[in-house]
Amino acid sequence: MSDTGFFNFAEAQAQARRRTAVLVGLFLLLTLAIAAVTGAIGGLLFGGAEGQMARMDQQREATAPAADSLLEQFDPAAAMAVGVGVMGIILITAAVRGLMLGGDGAKVAKSMHGTEVTRDTQNPAKRQLYNVVEEMAIAASLPVPRVFVIKHEQGINAFAAGNSPETAAIGITHGALSALNRRELKGVVAHEFAHIANGDMRLNLRLMTMIFGLVALSVAGRMAMRSVFLTGGGRRDQRVVMAAMAIGVVLLILGALGVLAGRMLQAAISRRREYLADATAVQFTREPEGLANALKKIGALQQAERLNNAHGEEVRHMLFAEAVAKRAPGLLATHPPLVERIRALEPGFNPKEDPIWRKPQKEMIRESRQELRHSS
Amino acid sequence: METIIVVLLVLLALVLPSVLLYNRLVRKRNAFKNAFAQIDVQLKRRHDLIPNLVETVQGYMKHERETLTAVIEARNTAEQVRQRTSGSAGDPGSMAQLGRAEGELGGVLGRLFALSEAYPDLKANENFKSLQEELTSTENRVAYARQAYNDAAMRYNNAVETVPSNIIAGAFNFTRAAMLEFEDRETLQEPPKVQFS
């Protein structure tokens, strides 16, 4: 199938899809495990508290011997209730969050101060961008998305937003528009089309809402603890207070750990989807060079690629290259290292000797502006 | 009684798969016809742009009469062929004709843009630059649409030629669809190389 010979996009896509499936499975397991653990602890604590109270009522004994084994105290009904409650908290907040975030890509692009580019633009660079988007729509057999330019952003970056191909929008930074030539621009646009075609925004949205559910879990834990402090005190059912307190702490800790693990998984899935999108982009353009050269230019302009925008966190997954802190720990990075991505497209790539990677950025921008002026 | 039921069952077992296979062939045929319609749209756009281009270039390239005439002739031929073939997707004769005409046009256009390198004033002309961008984009669109058409035609051909759908295809006269190749391969085989500069 591949016209380019050495880069087999079909196989790369299949591999990326398999690995994503494993990671998504892990994510679901993580949520289930959290619900199960809190459920088990809840069962132990509430079971213990009830048993203790019953004994206290019967015997009025101050020194209750904790001789019962833990298993005897375990209350399956309470465990179920707590487990289901925890799942409910996660799923309901996730669903609400999903409804709030979902849908229209154009809204996301506008919230990042994007200006829309339309078919009848007079600006040559924007005209070229719109043409490239229309070409890729044909290559990908997808509807033409709305196109936005992020005006005040000098780094080379791009994103796709929106839940479905029909509501999708593509955003390109001003820096990308001025620094990339036609072929490189096409590679970048094809990469964003690949995210649309592969349903990556929807996948990421789901993961984000799941993480939000886990955040809600810690919040619920904190609330449980606070309510104990507010209402607690000289009540008779001290064991129940203690149990609620302990549940609060457990929720807090598990929620926080879950969020961390969830973010790592989200980042791992995202890194897989980036390789997949690179492979799919080559399927659309049938030439890996444009995308590879665009990535090299980003490497050369590394410090400019950080997007200084409050929304960076929410959309960073959709961005063409890592947008948040450059020193993000490897496990939380949403994009694979540039060098690795370029090597996947161009096996012989060597950053030390590559003319584009090593080109000083001022010279690069000057050249590309000239190119735009002369050839576009 | 029993024999009637058996005969009916056998008939059903024969007819049902045939209906499904027939429908699949029709769907595949519609798919490549639709893909061809997309090429047709883009080719029309290409042909519509060329008179404007010649108009703009004329004032600057006074010594290239011959090339300009060749471009116009190739464009007119290609447009005639396009109109004649726009309904006959997959027909081998039509596809070959169209491929030849468009290949020819691509060749002379390439020559025109190569010559334009020698005219700095022309290259600075805003109108020329924008036409150049539009043509580049149209070439790419034609190339991607052609890729989609050839893919769809190949899927259809596979269905026509493989067992068991080939039996239905033979019985109902589904014939192979021809691929669309442009003969001037240098200009159109590799879409991204077409930068005209």
A105-201+276-347: CATH architecture? 2-Layer Sandwich (3.30)
| Element containing residue A161 per DSSP (H, E) | strand A158-161
Distance between CA atoms of B45 and A88, rounded to whole angstroms?
56
Partners of residue A52 on adjacent β-strands: none
d(CA A106, CA A116): 9
B194 in contact with A at a CB cutoff of 8 Å?
A: no
Q: How close A289 comes to chain B (CA, Å)?
A: 10
Pairwise pLDDT comparison (A2 vs A148), residue with the higher score: A148
Give the pLDDT score at A90. Answer: 77
pLDDT, greater one: A334 or B110: B110
Give A50 or A160, the one with higher predicted confidence. A160
**Is residue A149 helix, strand or coil?**
strand
According to the model, what pLDDT value does residue A54 have?
56
Of A153, A192, A305, A322, which is the active-site residue?
Answer: A192
Average confidence score pLDDT of chain B: 87
Of A62, A30, A69, whose CA–CA distance to A48 is shortest? A69
**Which residues does chain B have within 8 Å of residue A376's beta carbon, measured at their own beta carbons?**
129, 132-133
d(CA A260, CA A95): 20
CB atoms within 10 A of CB B61: 18
CATH topology of domain B22-193: de novo design (two linked rop proteins) (1.20.1440)
A3 to chain B, closest Cα gap in Å: 9
Q: Locate B151 and state its tokens.
A: 């893919």
Type and span of the H or E element at A196: helix A182-198
Task: State yes or no: is A192 an active-site residue.
Answer: yes
pLDDT confidence of residue B193: 44
Greater model confidence, A209 or A134: A134
Token pair for A324: 């948040």
Distances in whole angstroms, Cα of residue A119 to Cα of each of A116, A124, A134, A144, B40 = 10, 12, 9, 11, 20
Specify the domain boundaries for CATH 3.30.2010.10 within chain A. Answer: 105-201+276-347
pLDDT of B9 over the 50 cut? yes
The bridge status of strand A158-161 relative to strand A114-117 is unpaired
Q: What is the mean pLDDT of chain A?
A: 76
At A196, is the pLDDT very low, low, confident or very high (cuts 50, 70, 90)?
A: confident
Rounded to an integer, the average pLDDT of A25-47 is 79
Half-sphere exposure of A199 (CA within 13 A, CB side): 6
> Is residue A3 predicted with pLDDT exceeding 60?
no
Q: Is the pLDDT of residue A293 over 50?
A: yes
Write down the pLDDT at residue A1: 37
- Residues in B closer than 8 angstroms to A289, CB to CB, are 192
Quote the pLDDT of residue B105: 93
Residue found by looking up tokens 């199938």 in the block: A1
Our CA dihedral for A158, A184, A283, B140, rounded to 10 degrees, sits at: 110
- Sign, Cα dihedral of A57, A60, A63, A69: negative
- A36 pLDDT band, cuts 50/70/90, is confident
- Residues of chain A positioned with their CB less than 8 A from the CB of B38: 138
| Of A182 and A73, more confident | A182
Determine which of B141, B155, B193 to mutate to test the interface with A (most A C-beta atoms within 10 Å): B141
Instruction: Say whether A290 and B190 touch across the interface (CB within 8 A).
Output: no
Position with higher pLDDT, A9 vs B156: B156
Top-confidence residue, A133 or A228: A133
pLDDT tens column, A305-342: 444 444 444 444 456 665 444 445 577 777 888 888 88
**A68-113: per-residue pLDDT in tens?**
555 666 778 878 888 888 888 777 877 777 676 666 788 888 888 8
Q: Which residues contact B163 (CB under 8 A, 6 or more apart)?
A: none
Higher pLDDT, B106 or A360: B106
The whole-angstrom separation of Cα A136 and Cα A149 is 17
Torsion of CA A159, A162, A166, A172, to 10 degrees: -20
Which pLDDT tens digit goes with each residue over B185-194?
444 444 444 4
Which B residues 124-163 touch A at CB under 8 Å? 129-130, 132-134, 136-137, 140-141, 144-145, 147-148
Residue range A247-277, pLDDT digits in tens: 788 888 888 888 888 888 888 888 888 988 9
Residue A228 has pLDDT above 80, yes or no: no
Distance CA A136, CA A168 (A): 14
Nearest-by-Cβ selection for A374 from B123, B136, B145: B123
Measured between CA atoms, how close is B130 to chain A, in angstroms? 7
Q: Per the CB < 8 Å rule, is A138 touching B197?
A: no
pTM of full prediction above 0.90:
no
